[in-house]
Structure formats: C-alpha cells, structure tokens
C-alpha cells in the first residue's frame, strides 16, 4: 500500500500500521516476543550498536504493554547490549476509546502499575513516549500523559511534529523533555525552544525516506545549537538494523557532515537517553563500548553504502568482545 502511494495515516485508518501489529502482539506469547527481540538485538549489535532504546507500544492495553515491558526487562538482564526501556502505551488510540479516555486509562491505571512494578524491582522503565499527532493524541492529552510519567520519575522522550505541525517541540521544551523524535514538521519557535532547554532532537532519516516525508531540518537545528541525535526508528515501517546506514542517509539526505553524524549516533544519542555520563564516547570512567573496523579511515563506516558486516571486525561492550567477525 505504501509503495502504491498510500499515506501513513491512510494505511493506519485501513487497519494496517500500528493496529495490525497490536493484534499480532496481543496474540504472541512472551517466549515468541523474546525470541524475535533477541534475534533483532543481535543484528543491531553486529552492526555496531551497544546501547538501544527499546519501546513497548504495540499493546495499547495494560496487560500487553506489561508483557512487552517484561520481555524488554528480560533482554536487559540477559543480553550484552545495553537497553533503555521506554513505555509507549500512548502509541495509538485503542479501538472503542477516544484519546481523552485512553489518556485517562494510562494516567489512572497504567502509570500507577508501572510505578509499583518499578518499586519492587520487577521491571525497570526509563522513559515515557506518546505519539503526539493529529488523529492520535492531541497536545492536551500528550501533556497530561507526559506529566504523569514525569511525576513517577520517567524521562520524557516522545514522538513529535512528525506528520503535522503540532507545537510538540514547544511542549517538550516546556515540560523538560530529554528528547523528542521525528520533528519533520517542527516550527522555528520549536527549534529555538529545544536549543534553550537542552532538549535533544532524535532525527530518523529512515522514516523520512520510507514514508517519503520532507526531511527533518538537521542543518537549522545544528546551526541553532540543538543537540541532534540519530536513531534507526526500527519498527515494522522502517526495518533497519544498521546505524551505519542511518548515518549515511543523514549525511546525504539531511546534509550532515560525517563528524556530525558520528557524534549524533554516539555521544548525542547517549545524551538523548540520559546516558552520556556512561556511554557514547571513549573516556576514562565510562563504559568500554567500541567497535574495531578493518579500514584505513573511520569515515568508511558512513561512506560505504551498505556492507557494514564487511567492515566491522569486533564489537566490544563493557570491555568484552561481544561480536567477532
């Protein structure tokens, strides 16, 4: 449908997109979800990723959201890759509810349960996300949910200004958000507000490419002092394991320089998760995460379009080789 010209929202309204994945995720067992998650994280690790933000958001009811978060928690404990867990119960409005009703359910039922499970050590959630978008969660519902998450100690890291200008960037800056993702439709005022607030912009060149959206204005953000990070946006719509590919797209389509793209995929991405004091650069006192590549220059990681598997000899996490070619 997408290749035939249907828009993201047309597919969504036809029962595809998020809704389709929600049905399948509700039917899947924890074992099935863990198996596929484990496999995907290993693919990311072989492509050089050592810290991943992993979201729920394909449950939309408390039971399935918690099922996803338990699977993420199990991966966090068992796998070599670092995981920052994000609760994204407000990824879409569940069938039969309005956005206001869905927001009430999240604030009154989901968040108290997350707080309780966090307190007794069963699951560890770092961030809260909302899909702030026309026809999904409006600015008011988004504000209420994000504030509710902040009140229980979660970092704000949400979808904003993707398909329509929503003033999401201004809202994020006001609420003290750690990061906002997408931002294809961000306003000039929103960019200025994010720069002042130290709120990072997680730009996703895969999404703009796959959905044929206009590219996020990376150059303007960088010129105005916004902390620009890059993400793969790995999901059913953008099935990309490879940050080298993401950096390549950022340089070609968003006109970033190679050093800017490297910083955006490492130290600034760590900052977007509140982890730049431990991850994202090679410094004394930080976690020993690095990759060793077989190349005359580091730029080949971006310059070679595809084929990172030929370049990456070793991936090292916490000082241990977790992958060897």
pLDDT higher than 90, residue 9: no
Domain boundary among 137, 160, 183: 160
Residues 158, 120 contacting (CB under 8 angstroms): no
pTM here is 0.96
84-116 pLDDT, tens per residue?
A: 999 999 999 999 999 999 999 999 999 999 999
Specify if 192 maps to a domain. yes
Q: In this structure, are 156 and 167 located in the same domain?
A: no
Strand partners of residue 229: 202
Q: In this structure, are 269 and 297 located in the same domain?
A: no
15-68 pLDDT, tens per residue?
A: 888 889 999 999 999 999 999 999 999 999 999 999 999 999 999 999 999 999
Nearest Cα to Cα of residue 254 among 204, 302, 306: 204
Question: Within 13 Å of residue 245, how many CA atoms lie on the same side as its CB?
Answer: 17
Specify if 282 maps to a domain. no
Looking at every residue in the chain, the average pLDDT score rounds to 96
Helix, strand, coil content of the chain in percent (nearest 5): 45, 15, 40
Q: In this structure, are 316 and 248 located in the same domain?
A: no
For 91-118, letters b (16+ CB in 10 Å) and e give bbbbeeeebeebbebbbeebbeebeebb
Q: In this structure, are 182 and 230 located in the same domain?
A: yes
269-311 pLDDT, tens per residue?
A: 999 999 999 999 999 999 999 999 999 999 999 999 988 999 9
Domain boundary among 160, 181, 205: 160
Specify if 280 maps to a domain. no
- Cα 191-151-97 angle, rounded to 5 deg: 85
Q: In this structure, are 22 and 137 located in the same domain?
A: yes
Specify if 281 maps to a domain. no
Q: In this structure, are 176 and 230 located in the same domain?
A: yes
pLDDT higher than 90, residue 131: yes
Domain of residue 185: give its range: 163-275
Q: How confident is the model at residue 8 (pLDDT cuts 50, 70, 90)?
A: confident
Q: In this structure, are 231 and 87 located in the same domain?
A: no
Specify if 37 maps to a domain. yes
Specify if 28 maps to a domain. yes
What is the C-alpha R_g of the chain?
19
Q: Region 239-252: what's the mean pLDDT?
A: 98
Q: How confident is the model at residue 203 (pLDDT cuts 50, 70, 90)?
A: very high
Please state, in angstroms and rounded to a whole number, the distance separating the CA atoms of residues 31 and 26.
13
Looking at the structure of the chain, the number of domains it has is 3
CATH for 257? 3.20.20.140
Q: How many CB atoms lie within 10 A of CB 282?
A: 10
Please state, in angstroms and rounded to a whole number, the distance separating the CA atoms of residues 200 and 104.
28
Specify if 317 maps to a domain. yes
Please state, in angstroms and rounded to a whole number, the distance separating the CA atoms of residues 9 and 16.
9
């Amino acid at each position: 449908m997408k290749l035939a010209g249907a828009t993201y929202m047309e597919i969504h309204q036809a029962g595809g997109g998020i809704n389709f994945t929600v049905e399948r995720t509700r039917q899947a067992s924890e074992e099935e979800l863990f198996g596929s998650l484990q496999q995907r994280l290993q693919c990311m690790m072989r492509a050089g990723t050592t810290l991943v933000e992993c979201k729920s958001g394909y449950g939309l009811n408390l039971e399935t959201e918690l099922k996803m978060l338990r699977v993420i928690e199990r991966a966090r404990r068992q796998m070599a890759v670092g995981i920052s867990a994000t609760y994204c119960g407000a990824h879409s409005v569940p069938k039969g509810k309005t956005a206001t009703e869905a927001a009430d359910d999240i604030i009154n039922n989901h968040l108290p349960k997350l707080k309780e499970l966090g307190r007794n050590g069963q699951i560890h959630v770092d961030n809260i996300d909302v899909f702030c978008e026309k026809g999904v969660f409006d600015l008011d519902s988004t504000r209420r949910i994000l504030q509710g998450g902040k009140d229980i100690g979660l970092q704000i890291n949400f979808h904003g200004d993707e398909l329509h200008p929503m003033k999401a960037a201004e809202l994020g800056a006001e609420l003290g958000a750690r990061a906002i993702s997408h931002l294809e439709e961000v306003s000039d005022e929103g960019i200025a507000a994010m720069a002042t607030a130290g709120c990072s912009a997680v730009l996703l060149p895969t999404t703009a490419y796959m959905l044929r959206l206009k590219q996020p204005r990376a150059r303007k953000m960088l010129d105005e002092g916004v902390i620009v990070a890059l993400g793969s946006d790995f999901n059913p719509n953008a099935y990309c394991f490879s940050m080298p590919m993401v950096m390549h797209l950022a340089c070609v389509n968003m006109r970033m320089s190679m050093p800017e793209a490297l910083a955006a995929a490492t130290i600034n991405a760590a900052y977007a998760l509140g982890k730049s004091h431990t991850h994202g650069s090679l410094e004394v006192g930080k976690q020993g995460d690095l990759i060793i590549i077989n190349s005359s220059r580091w730029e080949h990681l971006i310059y070679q379009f595809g084929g990172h598997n030929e370049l990456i000899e070793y991936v090292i996490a916490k000082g241990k080789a977790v992958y060897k070619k």
